[in-house]
């Protein structure tokens, strides 16, 4: 079809300036980053999203949180922007991944700022009706070093899984590798958010936290089936967050629990309590809805009933009699296999402790971890082998002390470098400016660091 250009009427000036003619899509104030893994067990945590968001805007998380997010929150979680004020907030940054006021307030504000409507799925908010705070979240980071390394090698985004924030998760969902909870370089525990959080790196010594799979040393045989089962069950729960969020009411657990008692022990609470080795009064509290079981307790019950958490919550208790008989049998045999203080293998424990003591200092486990590996009580270890236990504790402490001294020395070097850099820029090296350039400004509280800074500044003043 021929179009005669002369017949096309141009827009009048009024029309060109009319906003109705050119509808402008709403713009987000902060980058509209895609959250990772929603609807899968590998969903990202909110603290990880915040760190990536800060990174995307090329600012430190502390700046993003204090200057942009904090003023919009309903409640004041960051009282002031000094390092002390922020430190108090970072100490409880794990709560951003939980289900309480902090998680709700932050996810709402970050949803608004990034024009998302689903960031609450990076937290435990969808399960708020069925969770109890006790024993739920880790205050410090846990991570799979192999995951980090593989993402880095394959140029994938590096992030922290919401699963890693749960205390009951002790192994990696993908690699079945025990999660790491202390930086292997400086031994420190790392908060989920900090002044200069950088995903995959230690917030204190700035070292990379990943390890290649062929270099990762672990005795995977020490990981019990229950740990593998738990990570899968919790992964499935997080993957079903969207579907479950609309179903879970505050009465839900009590209802599921009561059906389970009816189904497995014909309504006999004492028998159900004995079956799961739970105090009878505790069980009664759950049955009457007076108390709600912790996530750990729920997992224990589901594990011994061979039910997934989702099945328990959906009240799907369809099991064959054969499975139930098998369960009863396994329960009886596992009861017999339980170690009593009288018959546990002292020789094996002594050998294990001696082997641990001969290990290099950086890989020394805590006595709690050793007791867990040996499936015995921590107190029994100290009672039977006080000397070996003391030596292990001393060796760990000595190593941590050396790491601490090394980090202080590293901080001093960084201060010297920062002062030189500021000198080249023609800037006076105020403490605040130096703090911005070093990886751990908190070290200014140490006398050695303060003295070095003073000495350096005085020598600059003298040379002027």
Q: Which residue has the tokens 């990034």?
A: 114
**x/- letters, 150..179, toward Zn ion (CB under 5 A):** ----------------------x-xx----
Give the H or E element holding residue 103. Answer: helix 101-114
Rule CB under 5 A: choose which of 36, 119, 147, 275 binds Zn ion: 147
Provide, rounded to whole angstroms, the least separation between the CB of residue 176 and Zn ion: 8
Provide, rounded to whole angstroms, the least separation between the CB of residue 167 and Zn ion: 18
The contacts found for 368-377 with CB under 8 angstroms, 24 or more apart, are 373/222, 374/348, 374/349, 375/339, 376/339, 376/344, 376/349
Provide, rounded to whole angstroms, the least separation between the CB of residue 235 and Zn ion: 12
Size of the residue set binding Zn ion (CB under 5 A): 12
Options 124-132, 137-145, 315-323, 376-384: segment touching Zn ion (CB under 5 A)? 137-145
Residue 48: burial class (beta carbons within 10 Å; 0-12, 13-18, 19+):
buried
- Residues 152/200, Cβ–Cβ less than 8 Å: yes
183 counts as binding Zn ion under rule CB under 5 A: yes
185 counts as binding Zn ion under rule CB under 5 A: yes
- Report the residue number, 183 or 374, with the smaller CB distance to Zn ion: 183
Q: Which residue has the tokens 């809805």?
A: 289
Give which of 56, 46, 159 is closest to 104, Cα–Cα: 46
Quick one: angle between helices 46-56 and 101-114, nearest 10? Answer: 40
202 alpha carbon, distance to own chain's centre: 14
Options 32-40, 182-190, 214-222, 451-459: segment touching Zn ion (CB under 5 A)? 182-190
- Report the residue number, 110 or 160, with the smaller CB distance to Zn ion: 160
- Report the residue number, 32 or 398, with the smaller CB distance to Zn ion: 398
Provide, rounded to whole angstroms, the least separation between the CB of residue 212 and Zn ion: 12
Give which of 309, 319, 131, 147 is closest to 229, Cα–Cα: 309
216 counts as binding Zn ion under rule CB under 5 A: no
- Report the residue number, 183 or 452, with the smaller CB distance to Zn ion: 183
Give which of 46, 41, 24, 38 is closest to 100, Cα–Cα: 46
146 counts as binding Zn ion under rule CB under 5 A: yes
Rule CB under 5 A: choose which of 33, 186, 388, 403 binds Zn ion: 186
∠173-176-178 over CA atoms, to 5°? 105
Rule CB under 5 A: choose which of 46, 54, 95, 205 binds Zn ion: 205
204 counts as binding Zn ion under rule CB under 5 A: yes
Q: Enumerate binding residues for Zn ion (CB under 5 A).
A: 144, 146-147, 172, 174-175, 183, 185-186, 202, 204-205
């Amino acid at each position: 079809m021929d179009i005669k250009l002369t017949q096309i009427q141009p827009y009048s000036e009024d029309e060109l300036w009319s906003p109705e003619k050119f509808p402008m899509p709403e713009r987000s104030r902060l980058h509209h980053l895609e959250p990772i893994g929603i609807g899968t067990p590998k969903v990202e945590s909110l603290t990880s999203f915040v760190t990536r968001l800060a990174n995307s805007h090329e600012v430190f998380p502390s700046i993003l949180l204090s200057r942009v997010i904090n003023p919009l929150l309903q409640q004041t979680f960051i009282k002031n922007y000094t390092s002390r004020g922020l430190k108090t907030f970072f100490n409880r940054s794990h709560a951003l991944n939980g289900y309480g006021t902090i998680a709700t307030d932050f996810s709402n504000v970050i949803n608004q700022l990034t024009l998302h409507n689903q960031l609450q799925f990076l937290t435990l908010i969808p399960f708020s009706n069925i969770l109890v705070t006790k024993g739920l979240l880790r205050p410090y980071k846990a991570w799979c070093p192999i995951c980090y390394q593989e993402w880095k090698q394959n140029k994938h985004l590096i992030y922290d899984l919401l699963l890693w924030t749960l205390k009951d998760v002790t192994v990696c969902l993908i690699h079945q590798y025990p999660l790491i909870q202390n930086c292997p370089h400086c031994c420190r525990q790392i908060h989920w958010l900090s002044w200069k959080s950088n995903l995959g790196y230690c917030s204190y010594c700035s070292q990379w936290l990943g390890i290649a799979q062929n270099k990762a040393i672990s005795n995977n045989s020490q990981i019990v089936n229950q740990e593998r089962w738990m990570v899968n069950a919790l992964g499935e729960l997080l993957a079903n967050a969207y579907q479950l969020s609309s179903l879970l009411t505050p009465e839900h657990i009590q209802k599921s629990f009561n059906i389970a008692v009816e189904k497995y022990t014909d309504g006999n609470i004492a028998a159900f309590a004995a079956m799961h080795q739970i105090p009878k009064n505790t069980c009664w509290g759950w049955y009457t809805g007076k108390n709600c079981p912790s996530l750990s307790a729920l997992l224990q019950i589901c594990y011994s009933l061979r039910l997934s958490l989702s099945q328990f919550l959906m009240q799907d208790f369809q099991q064959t009699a054969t499975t139930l008989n098998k369960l009863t049998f396994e329960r009886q045999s596992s009861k017999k296999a339980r170690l009593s203080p009288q018959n546990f293998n002292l020789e094996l424990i002594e050998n294990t402790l001696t082997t641990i003591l001969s290990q290099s200092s950086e890989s020394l486990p805590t006595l709690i971890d050793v007791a867990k590996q040996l499936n015995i009580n921590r107190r029994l270890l100290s009672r039977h082998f006080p000397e070996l236990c003391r030596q292990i504790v001393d060796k760990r402490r000595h190593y941590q002390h050396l790491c601490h001294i090394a980090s202080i020395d590293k901080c001093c070097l960084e201060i010297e470098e920062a002062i030189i850099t500021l000198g080249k820029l023609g800037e006076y090296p105020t403490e605040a400016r130096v703090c911005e350039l070093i990886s751990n400004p908190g070290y200014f509280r140490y006398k050695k660091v303060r003295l070095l800074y003073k000495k350096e500044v005085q020598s600059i003043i003298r040379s002027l």
